[in-house]
């Protein structure tokens, strides 16, 4: 199963939220119980890079073959699609059957219920760094988990950027394509909130002709 996940999580995977190393994500999917809300919704968020709330927008009738279409935001401009791995589809079929999910929604609970369940039961099951809390400086000092569910979306955007960078050897072009795929209104959203910490994914930056620092303003620059 880990080999299937390694392929699926070649994540095409917000502010002050860190990327989650891909091996940690794969281990989490393997550890969370089969046919559970925890496993299928975590896996879907990791493989699609969707906003967590967008899990509520995913519908059975919009899964055509292996291609899932969904609204990732508040308007038509946020429509996205993603071809799902066969491993994820198989788990989805098993989950819906075992949990008697027969209506249009893909999942039997809401995104908010999933978030609460993950922060309780899920983190306890995974243990380790999933339970570690850190201080995050914002307008005030806040305590939050080291690995947050938002980090799955950041993984997705960062991996997409890295793949485009390797393909075009230009960070500027890669940034434009990534912003388009994530349905961001401006490339600075992509640069400062998603791809600034590319090394956290667990591999080196591509040796492109134009460096990432030219678009993020350097290591110490933080967008407010």
Domain region containing 160: 150-216
Number of domains in the chain: 2
* Residues 26 and 100 grouped into a single domain: yes
Tell me the whole-structure pTM to 2 decimals. 0.77
pLDDT for 150 beyond 50: yes
What's residue 223's pLDDT?
30
Q: Which helix (H) or strand (E) holds 83?
A: strand 79-83
CATH number for position 13:
1.10.443.10
CB 6 within 8 A of CB 26: yes
- Asked if residue 155 and residue 102 are part of one domain, the reply reads no
- Same domain membership, residue 156 and residue 69: no
Please indicate, yes or no, whether residues 100 and 10 belong to a single structural domain of this protein: yes
The reply to whether 137 falls in a domain is no
Do 112 and 212 share a structural domain? no
**146 token code pair:** 């080291």
* Mean pLDDT to the nearest integer, 163-167: 87
For the chain, the C-alpha Rg in angstroms (whole number) is 17
Whether 13 is covered by a domain: the verdict is yes
Give the separation between CA 156 and CA 113, rounded to whole angstroms.
23
Pick from 77, 101, 131: which residue ends a domain? 131
**pLDDT tens per residue across span 174-196:** 888 888 888 777 776 666 666 66
Identify any residues that bridge with 67 across adjacent strands, giving them in sequence order.
Answer: 64, 83
Q: Are residues 65 and 113 in the same domain?
A: yes
- Per cent of the chain over pLDDT 90 is 48
Per-residue pLDDT, 138: 61
Residues 108 and 203 in one domain: no
Q: Are residues 124 and 176 in the same domain?
A: no
Residue 43 counted as domain residue: yes
More confident residue, 139 or 17: 17
Q: Which of 53, 29, 13, 51 is nearest to 201 (CA)?
A: 13
11 and 81 inside one domain: yes
Domain-located, residue 224: no
pLDDT exceeds 90 at position 140: no
Instruction: Tell me whether residue 222 is in a domain.
Output: no
Check whether residue 7 and residue 109 sit in a common domain. yes
Same domain, 27 and 104: yes
């Amino acid at each position: 199963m880990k080999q299937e996940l390694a392929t699926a999580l070649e994540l095409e995977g917000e502010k002050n939220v860190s990327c989650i190393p891909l091996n940690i994500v794969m281990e989490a999917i393997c550890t969370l119980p089969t046919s559970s809300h925890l496993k299928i919704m975590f896996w879907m968020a990791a493989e699609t890079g969707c906003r967590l709330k967008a899990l509520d927008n995913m519908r059975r009738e919009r899964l055509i073959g292996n291609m899932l279409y969904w609204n990732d935001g508040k308007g038509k401009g946020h429509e996205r699609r993603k071809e799902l791995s066969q491993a994820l589809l198989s788990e989805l079929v098993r989950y819906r059957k075992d949990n008697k999910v027969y209506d249009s929604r893909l999942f039997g609970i809401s995104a908010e219920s999933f978030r609460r369940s993950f922060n309780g039961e899920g983190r306890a099951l995974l243990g380790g760094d999933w339970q570690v809390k850190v201080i995050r400086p914002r307008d005030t000092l806040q305590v939050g988990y080291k690995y947050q569910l938002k980090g799955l979306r950041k993984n997705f955007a960062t991996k997409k950027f890295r793949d485009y960078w390797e393909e075009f050897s230009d960070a500027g072009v890669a940034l434009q394509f990534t912003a388009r795929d994530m349905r961001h209104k401006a490339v600075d959203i992509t640069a400062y909130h998603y791809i600034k910490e590319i090394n956290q994914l667990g591999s080196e930056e591509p040796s492109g002709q134009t460096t990432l620092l030219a678009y993020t303003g350097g290591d110490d620059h933080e967008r407010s």
